[in-house]
Amino acid sequence: MKAPRVMIAAASSGSGKTLITCGILQALCQRGMVADAFKCGPDYIDPMFHTRVIGTPCRNLDPFFCDEEMLRYLFLRSASRFTVSILEGVMGYYDGVAGTSLHGSSYDLARITKTPVVLVVNTRGMSRSIVPLIQGMVRYREDSHICGVILNRMSPSLYPEIRDIVEEECGIKVLGYVPPVPEAVIESRHLGLVTPEGVADLKEKLDKMAEVLKNSVDLDALLALADAAEDLEYRTPAIPDPLGDKKGQVRIAAARDEAFCFYYEDNLDLLRQMGAEIVEFSPLRDSCLPDGIHGLILPGGYPELFADVLEKNESMRRSIYEAVRNGLPSLAECGGFMYLHREMEDMKGNVFQGVGLVDGKAYRTEKLGRFGYITLTANRDQILGKTGTKLRAHEFHYFDSTSCGDSFHAQKPSRKRNWDCIHGEERCAWGFPHLYFYSNPEAASHFVEACADYKKEQADKET
């Protein structure tokens, strides 16, 4: 399958690749092109900005979460519907699992998907010194896939000379430069960038960046690189079909608002593919759960920033508590898990009441406690599968709990660190890990089956 594509990567985090990626997407949309966007790795926030620009969901592509065949399938399933796909890298281009492996890196994704790469080089504080940096990045691997560079934070007056030096000594095309654009800066928060809803004048910032890029970056050359990408082959994986011909008859409520917004779009797509209907609601603004639901998902997000509002919405907390106590199947991750606690701290250490399903307290810590990829193995039978069920996941949080659960065992890749986590029973799985369903679609199928069982039980009660 032909799928024009290009990756925007960098030598390190903080090089400006997210803002440049969004500016490129905005410029392409202004040309009338139908662009698709992907984020390498487990990031939730960058995809929200991509989605805001292109108007359709951005998806994650992560070589740690699933094998190469599945990764190509997930990419092409979405990319085939668009004119061009822009992939944003993660961290430094060669930084992978545990910080010491190439596996899971942006390079790994480019290799698997045979994607041409444009390297964003942060030139702040450098001029000719960028030459050996670029040479090293390009030559570190024979199949680096790096085909061009964009010089970020580059002086317009210095650019022509530096461009010529780079092209002559590195043998690589310089696609342009980006001068400092202070009016387009996007602020940061403790989990990374703020979400799009938290950025004042976001459209104006993105329009400004797009205007700058149209004048300083050769977008036609970038599109030519994308169009020259090799054709890809894939096989459609076998996906469980828990509902059979009863698709659309199971409704799963999924929290989505400013407090709960961290979703892998492919997780929701997989549930839909299995026949579930996703019904969104807001724990911040709605008074109760949606009617006629058979399952519940509470994702991560920023409940600590809205703890007072969540506490004051007592009717929603009571609605969730009673529904789950009465057997409603439920999944809760990170911020959603914190919300289910009896007590939850905010960023200042103030204590607020949560839903009360977890008999414990979610509390603020001074630093990242458990961070990065993990492999989960079920210690006992629960809603996601039997003892021994494996899932891949990710953690990133500044909070901890007095009651983390013990139904799964978490193991860090390439590290000795391991621990027990997650409250998992026949009808629930609540914990800090963010799960990726395509690492084990059977786990998602078990959740959908539990929702179908709950629906049948409710129908039997009515008759």
Contact 329, 295 (CB under 8 A): yes
In the block, tokens 């592509």 appear at 61
Contact 226, 4 (CB under 8 A): yes
Marked catalytic residue, from 58, 66, 147, 334:
334
In the block, tokens 């779009």 appear at 265
Confirm whether 334 is a catalytic residue.
yes
Using alpha carbons only, how large is the chain's radius of gyration in Å?
23
Task: Tell me the CA end-to-end span of the chain in Å, nearest whole number.
Answer: 52
**Residue 240 token pair:** 């469980």
- DSSP E strand boundaries for 169-220: 173-178, 188-189, 192-193
Contact 341, 432 (CB under 8 A): no
Residue-wise over 263-280: b if at least 16 C-beta within 10 A, else e?
bbebbbbbbeebbbbbbe
**Residue 26 token pair:** 């905005």
**Residue 299 token pair:** 């994702």
CA distances from residue 115 to 5, 8, 52 in whole angstroms, order as listed: 6, 10, 24
Contact 251, 296 (CB under 8 A): no
- DSSP E strand boundaries for 11-111: 35-40, 59-61, 84-88
Q: What size, in residues, is the chain?
A: 463
**C-alpha span between 454 and 294 (Å, rounded):** 6
- By annotation, the residues acting in catalysis are 334
